[in-house]
């Protein structure tokens, strides 16, 4: 067979020369020029790998296990692979599908004057079936939309990873704080038991009233209840942490009773919020979705124009198998078709309107994602701007109440102060110590939160 593919090549060269998708322009960021209370200091969060953020090796190892085993993150990664496959499928439609065929037919019939006859027909060939020329960019825009969907899911996976790193770190630190509270409750319980024994002895000698003895007993039972409550909370914290990690954790990875100091403090680099927020994976995902919507508009517009499809084949045909490749057996076929939409009851117009509305929805979602990101950073900075002062004040308060309790107890033992004042000082000290532990937890969690909302956490 001798084919002249020049007309086909010329038509293929025209494919995709028209793109009807609207030009993409990033929407203006609907956020303020600066965050309230922002200070331009420190390395950008997005430039710091999560391993560098945590100084405690147990926490780093716990986060690493979570990244390897967490089911939500695994599903997010599989969704990325699925969308990548969908993109490859869509991209393949830009190219013709070449297939080889081999057919053989034998049939028996009755011919007038000849009686029964047996005829045979054999053929082999290569062919292209229903290949659409992308003259107006429909397939190209669908391919671009699939690519943007894939990139959006990749950013969603990164966002999921950032959230997982922050959640695991917060759960680990919450477990550490509750362990400290449990230890504090046990120490307080033991101290109040000794105080109760002292009051009970004084009551037996007539030095204390029954009311003082009853109140001392109530503080002992209250502390005992706190011990049981915090013991239960520690177990629940461990269960929550292991759910995030996706496996049972060895005790060597769990926090001890030491003071919380496991995360570095990242700074907010100089620059406009809209520029910094563009590094957040959830913002990038929203923008990729918006770009996909623009491509969908181009594909919907292309439906208004004619479409050209080609079906062609070439090979050899013969009535005898032995003559299949002999001279004169060559055969070919070429069947182009043009489809010109004339009347579709408004279907194409409705599809285009739907694509434009989807684009407008994605614009609103993109702007809302930016606003949410700005608010999260502003909230984290608001906490950061006051947490140090609150910690200093609480440490001073705890030291003062500790001193007050020691003096009250000494005066009570000398007989110059009532037990009620000792009891009140003891309760104040216990409450101040609990608040201090909670504030130290909040300060460390705020560091991780600030790192997360500024777009860090997935590198490394």
pLDDT, tens digit, 9 for 90 and up, residues 412-460: 778 777 778 888 898 899 999 999 999 999 999 999 998 898 887 555 4
| Total number of residues shown for the chain | 460
Buried b (16+ CB within 10 A) or exposed e, 231-263: eebbeebbeebbebbbeebeeebbbeeeebebb
Q: Print the SS3 string covering 107-122.
A: EEEEECCCEEEEEEEE
Q: 40: pLDDT confidence band, cut at 50, 70 and 90?
A: very low
Exposed, middle or buried by CB within 10 Å (0-12, 13-18, 19+), for 91? middle
Q: 150: pLDDT confidence band, cut at 50, 70 and 90?
A: very high
CATH topology for 14-94+135-174+227-305+348-453 is Outer membrane efflux proteins (OEP) (1.20.1600)
Task: Give mean pLDDT, residues 71-93.
Answer: 92
User: What is the Cα–Cα distance from 205 to 195, expressed in whole angstroms?
Assistant: 16
For every residue of 173-186, DSSP letters joined together read HHHHHHHHHHHHHH
Q: At what angle do helices 138-204 and 419-453 cross, to 10 degrees?
A: 170
- Cα dist from 454 to 121, 179, 370, whole Å: 71, 30, 12
Task: Give mean pLDDT, residues 242-262.
Answer: 87
Q: What is the model's pLDDT at position 111?
A: 60
CB contact set of 56 (below 8 Å; sequence gap of 6+): 255, 262
Longest CA–CA separation in the chain, Å: 141
Residue 314's SS3 state is: strand
14 has pLDDT over 90: no
Q: 247: pLDDT confidence band, cut at 50, 70 and 90?
A: very high
Four-point Cα dihedral 252, 258, 260, 264, nearest 10? -70
Q: 46: pLDDT confidence band, cut at 50, 70 and 90?
A: low
Task: Give mean pLDDT, residues 78-98.
Answer: 91
User: What is the Cα–Cα distance from 45 to 33, expressed in whole angstroms?
Assistant: 19
- Pairing mode of beta strands 330-334, 115-133: unpaired
Q: What is the model's pLDDT at position 295?
A: 95
| Beta carbons of 40 and 218 less than 8 angstroms apart | no
> Of 73 and 215, which is predicted with more confidence?
73
Share of the chain above pLDDT 70, in %: 87
pTM for this prediction = 0.82
How many CA atoms lie less than 13 Å away from 180 in the CB half-sphere? Answer: 21
DSSP state of 171: H
Q: What is the model's pLDDT at position 43?
A: 57
User: What is the Cα–Cα distance from 272 to 146, expressed in whole angstroms?
Assistant: 31
Task: Give mean pLDDT, residues 242-253.
Answer: 93
User: What is the Cα–Cα distance from 311 to 101, expressed in whole angstroms?
Assistant: 14
- Cα dist from 340 to 302, 306, 307, 343, whole Å: 11, 4, 7, 9
34 has pLDDT over 90: no
Q: What is the model's pLDDT at position 272?
A: 64
Q: Is residue 285 within a helix (H) or strand (E), and if so which, with residue range?
A: helix 281-302
User: For 90-198, where are the E strands, in sequence order?
Assistant: 98-111, 115-133
User: For 404-458, where are the E strands, in sequence order?
Assistant: none
326 has pLDDT over 70: yes
Q: What is the model's pLDDT at position 327?
A: 73
pLDDT tens figures, 341-356 = 888 899 999 999 999 9
Q: Rounded to the nearest 5°, which phi and psi values hold at 268?
A: -100, 110
Residue 363's SS3 state is: helix
| Beta carbons of 137 and 19 less than 8 angstroms apart | yes
Q: What is the model's pLDDT at position 44?
A: 58
Q: What residue spans define the domains of the chain?
A: 14-94+135-174+227-305+348-453, 97-133+306-340
Query: Distance between the two ends of the chain, CA-based, in angstroms?
Result: 59
Task: Give mean pLDDT, residues 228-239.
Answer: 96
User: What is the Cα–Cα distance from 391 to 440, expressed in whole angstroms?
Assistant: 7
User: What is the Cα–Cα distance from 391 to 369, expressed in whole angstroms?
Assistant: 33
User: What is the Cα–Cα distance from 368 to 376, expressed in whole angstroms?
Assistant: 12
Helix ranges (H only) for 117-137 are: none
Sign of the four-CA dihedral 74, 77, 79, 84: negative
User: What is the Cα–Cα distance from 46 to 44, expressed in whole angstroms?
Assistant: 6
- Lowest-confidence region among 30-34, 42-46, 296-300, 398-402: 42-46
**CATH placement of domain 97-133+306-340:** 2.20.200.10
The average confidence (pLDDT) of the chain is 85
């Amino acid at each position: 067979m001798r084919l002249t593919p020049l007309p086909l090549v010329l038509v293929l060269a025209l494919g995709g020369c028209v793109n009807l998708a609207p030009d993409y322009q990033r929407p203006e960021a609907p956020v303020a020029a600066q965050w309230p209370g922002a200070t331009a200091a420190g390395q950008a969060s997005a430039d710091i790998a999560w391993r560098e953020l945590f100084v405690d090796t147990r926490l780093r190892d716990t986060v690493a296990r979570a990244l390897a085993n967490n089911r939500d993150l695994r599903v997010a990664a599989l969704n990325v692979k699925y969308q990548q496959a969908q993109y490859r499928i869509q991209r393949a439609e830009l190219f013709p599908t070449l297939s080889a065929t081999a057919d053989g037919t034998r049939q028996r019939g009755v011919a007038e004057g000849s009686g029964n006859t047996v005829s045979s027909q054999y053929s082999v060939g290569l062919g292209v079936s229903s290949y659409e020329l992308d003259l107006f960019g429909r397939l190209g825009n669908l391919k671009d939309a699939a690519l943007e969907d894939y990139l959006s899911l990749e950013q969603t996976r990164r966002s999921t990873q950032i959230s997982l790193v922050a959640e695991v770190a917060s759960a680990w630190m919450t477990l550490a704080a509750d362990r400290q509270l449990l230890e504090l409750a046990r120490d307080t319980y033991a101290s109040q038991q000794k105080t109760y024994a002292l009051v009970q002895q004084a009551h037996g000698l007539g030095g204390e009233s029954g009311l003082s003895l009853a109140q001392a007993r109530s503080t002992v039972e209250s502390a005992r209840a706190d011990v049981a409550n915090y013991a239960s909370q520690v177990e629940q914290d461990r269960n929550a942490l292991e759910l995030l990690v996706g496996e049972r954790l060895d005790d060597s990875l769990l926090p001890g009773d030491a003071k919380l100091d496991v995360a570095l403090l990242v700074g907010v680099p100089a620059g406009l919020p809209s520029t910094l927020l563009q590094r957040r994976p959830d913002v990038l995902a929203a923008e990729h979705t918006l770009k996909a919507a623009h491509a969908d508009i181009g594909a919907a517009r292309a439906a208004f124009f004619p479409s050209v499809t080609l079906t062609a084949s070439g090979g050899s045909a013969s009535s005898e198998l032995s003559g299949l490749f002999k001279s004169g057996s060559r055969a070919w076929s070429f069947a182009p078709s043009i489809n010109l939409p004339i009347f579709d009851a408004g279907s194409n117009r409705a599809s285009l309107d739907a694509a434009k509305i989807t684009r407008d929805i994605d614009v609103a979602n993109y702007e809302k994602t930016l606003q949410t990101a700005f608010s999260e950073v502003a909230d984290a900075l608001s906490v950061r701007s006051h947490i140090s002062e609150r910690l200093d004040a609480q440490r001073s308060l705890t030291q003062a109440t500790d001193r007050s309790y020691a003096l009250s107890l000494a005066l009570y033992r000398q007989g110059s102060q009532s037990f009620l004042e000792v009891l009140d000082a003891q309760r104040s000290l216990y409450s101040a110590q609990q608040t201090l532990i909670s504030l130290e937890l909040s300060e460390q969690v705020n560091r991780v939160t600030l790192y997360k909302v500024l777009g860090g956490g997935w590198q490394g």
